Amino acid sequence: MELDIIKREDPQVGELIEKELERQQNTIELIASENFTSEAIMAACGTVLTNKYAEGKPHKRFYNGCENVDKIEELAQERCKKLFNVGHANVQPHSGAQANMAVFLYAVKPGDTVMGMDLSNGGHLSHGSPVNFSGMYYNIISYGVDENGCIDYDEVEKLAEEHKPKLIIAGASNYSKIIDFKRFREIADKVGAYLMADIAHIAALVAAGVHPSPAGYAHFITTTTHKTLRGPRGGIIMCDEEHAAGIDKAVFPGLQGGPLEHIIAAKAIALKEASEPAFKEYAKQVVKNAKALAQGLMDEGMDIVGGGTENHLMTLDLRKFNKTGKDIANVLEKVGITANKNTVPNDPQSPFVTSGVRLGAAAVTTRGFKEEDMVEVAKIIASAVTASDNEQALKNLRERSLKLCQKHPLYKDMRH
């Protein structure tokens, strides 16, 4: 990131970017959908590729001069296919939500029945929320989780048999258990539905073999590239060859114009990084760190939805403290920890207030945090919850979080 160049050209924007860099360096990032890319990925996002328009597919563009971006996009596709063991990959979606939208556009018609996880139980907006396109244009049947925070597959099967959906979505934005893609496919086959697996949150865990893969079970696999996968902000759709042409047409011209070739180059780098042995160790450490954080919080008397985690995230249940997720997320920010408010199963609070806070371990693991660091993070969080009205206590906790950040520095020199 050529920060000095930006500051010379536009001091206002440059100063704000510098402040954001300082915030990231001095904050413990526990937002489960965020991560820190390599400097190579950031550099790719700022290359001359941003100047190139490339509507269409490699070698079938609507513009000339695409010989280089064709090769870059094909490289990203091939790396994705190899990493996830799939037949086809479209790396053009600008985001995970648009990847999901493209599957909807190809696989179902407006008014068709679609099954997905309820947003308040851990699903995503694009899985059928009434405020999202998916909930506005399709007949959504939602499934949730039981008292232990687990998907009840028998209930999913019962709902599918009753409502006969054309598309079933397996995947979540806040689910801490292993997803049984095989069982989902059996349910889909029983009612004649397509199965879409949204692995936006667990993509790195799947790529590293830490979480079972939906490849071979799901007709369509969608993901973002900027969460656990540690790439640029964007999306990918994977499928078998029989659906390749239809998915490609749904992305362009169905939903998007020109792809962001500078971001696709960054995706290619991220996919290369994810295929290396060090990345597998990273993914394993993410799960170890998440489990250490969950156990550390429970040891401090905190409640975790489902009693722990099997992946990279968890939800802190604040109901017994009579605190809201909104308030505690703000308190955590005061002590140098960023997280987000989140609903818990059967939450008495509104989605704008919530009774929980979602916590993730991917970003801090990128920084080099280990289990012992996560135990200290757990103690800081627990103390912040119980001393949320004590300003001096919060200042002391801020010092403790800053020490952890200094112990594991991020982007040591990003000015040049």
Catalogue the active-site residues.
53, 55, 198, 224, 227, 233
322: number of Cβ within 10 Å? 7
Residue with tokens 């362009």: 252
Q: How far is CA 316 from CA 151, 303, 309, in A?
A: 18, 6, 11
CB neighbour class for 246 (10 Å; exposed up to 12, middle 13-18, buried from 19): middle
Q: In three state form, how does the secondary structure of 353-395 look?
A: CCCEEEEECHHHHHHCCCHHHHHHHHHHHHHHHHCCCCHHHHH
Q: What is the DSSP letter of 245?
A: H
Q: Are 42 and 1 in contact (CB under 8 A)?
A: yes
Q: Are 174 and 342 in contact (CB under 8 A)?
A: yes
279: number of Cβ within 10 Å? 19
| Sign, CA torsion 34/258/267/21 | negative
Q: Are 350 and 302 in contact (CB under 8 A)?
A: no
* CA–CA gap between residue 184 and residue 219 (Å, rounded): 11
* CA–CA gap between residue 316 and residue 394 (Å, rounded): 19
Cβ neighbours for 158, distance < 8 A, ≥ 6 positions apart? none
Cβ neighbours for 101, distance < 8 A, ≥ 6 positions apart? 126, 133, 134, 255
* CA–CA gap between residue 29 and residue 350 (Å, rounded): 25
For 356, how many CA atoms within 13 A lie in the half-sphere containing its CB? 23
Residue with tokens 């997803």: 179
128: left (phi over 0), alpha (psi -120 to 50) or beta: left
Q: How far is CA 58 from CA 41, 90, 337, in A?
A: 22, 11, 43
Residue with tokens 């912040």: 384
